[in-house]
Chain A
């Protein structure tokens, strides 16, 4: 049962919902945020701001009511704002933060690790009906994008209409969703102070299908697969920096004492080392939010590493979803006497 702090009475809630039905989630969040800023409940709002391009909203802080005119919430707001809460927890006053259902797992996991301060957050659980991947839209040959209609998904509008310099194009919403939305964790928020907007479970794929496919390959094929994917890595560290679980104050790959430091990209080994260690360090804490794959400029399916660890953890130590509870111990910080021996890997073949 998700932790829920009800700030409104039941009647207030119903009225709120009734009037809200005609409004988009965006307008509702803005209105509510204005109220909370005005009455001093929160000192700032952490959400998304209209970006330079119609498909690129930007994570942003809003401190004044009038700034909220720029607030935007639509299908392109994929960014998981939980990580920004680490810094926001150090600021004075409460921060209103908009979290989608899957973002709340990250927030809870961070709470568990004492990296965010629950008291400093006022969480609006925003509805999510699947987020869009601009790379997939562009991969359909859509270029010169001027405007996009339908990025706010509704039950009767499941198509994006895109005006481009080269004519109007359309594409089905579900075809251009982020990979993580196809393996959606569900529409329930794990933690919130109030909820705004409806969510939809967009899961239509087996979360581990890709991992299983790779496992079925021969070692040589697996090696070739990862060699090919990782050869594109440019060591920009976007995957690490965006990851809510990667919250070390100083990363080992930033250490000047360490001779395989972050930015060399000198040998294929380095990329493997970086990505294995990155995924290993968040194993058991990774909520599978998919931000690493979303931000990778080279389109490397980085989530495969994390998901392999999750799949193994599920198989060896029982089903586990990071951020689903507040149990202090995770799979790598606990044990039972009967745990499998590492030899199982070789035995499995």
Chain B
């Protein structure tokens, strides 16, 4: 009985009793969700255009952030380092297309999936060799990212919003809108959508698949860089961050593998749900339920919509 009370009544009573805490928790979940959504966005871009379930997206994020910090340590000014890192991400996209995707065209999905695992190992090993295994701190202030927090007096308490988190949300919004406009209004964007729709039809009207793949992987690399900067500014940059990237999987699946709005909505649901669950229900189970709650939430949604919230309806024909 007391357990039922703890699960079904007590948390809600707490929420009503101190709404400022509730708002604070939701805000934190929201920011986490935005960042999950950004990682998932990279996945979606690549999955749409090349049908590859890119496991390496998380590691690309860490790799990009490390490269940025590495260039800065070598003495490059922050913005030069940023440009150089974007260059490195372009080279990575070129390399991936030339070395991995091109030879593996038309192979089973699972082999391509596995190849991105290989890429993950390669980037972890290579990244640690070049940059060392120690956590580094992100050059947040050099990139003019704000620090400190804004305290809002509301609902009979104080809600403090980290300026960095606000910046993260704004940057995420800008990226999503930017990508949306790019897809809708440019020549390359239309070609991308054509490829996503039907590879062969796109080929037959003269879209170069190879070129599109490079562009998509490059776009995913830039998204990874932005995500890496944000996560890196919140905690340190190290390969431990890749566990965060695994959280993007439920986000991705919840939203539907091919939908950009899905990635955003999924990210927010997972981010907020996870924080609320940990804060209000976690102590009943002894804490740390954040590690699996996201997956359970996604699984619960999937049981009702097996294609995710915004995924294309799965039509099966015999």
A and B part of one assembly: no
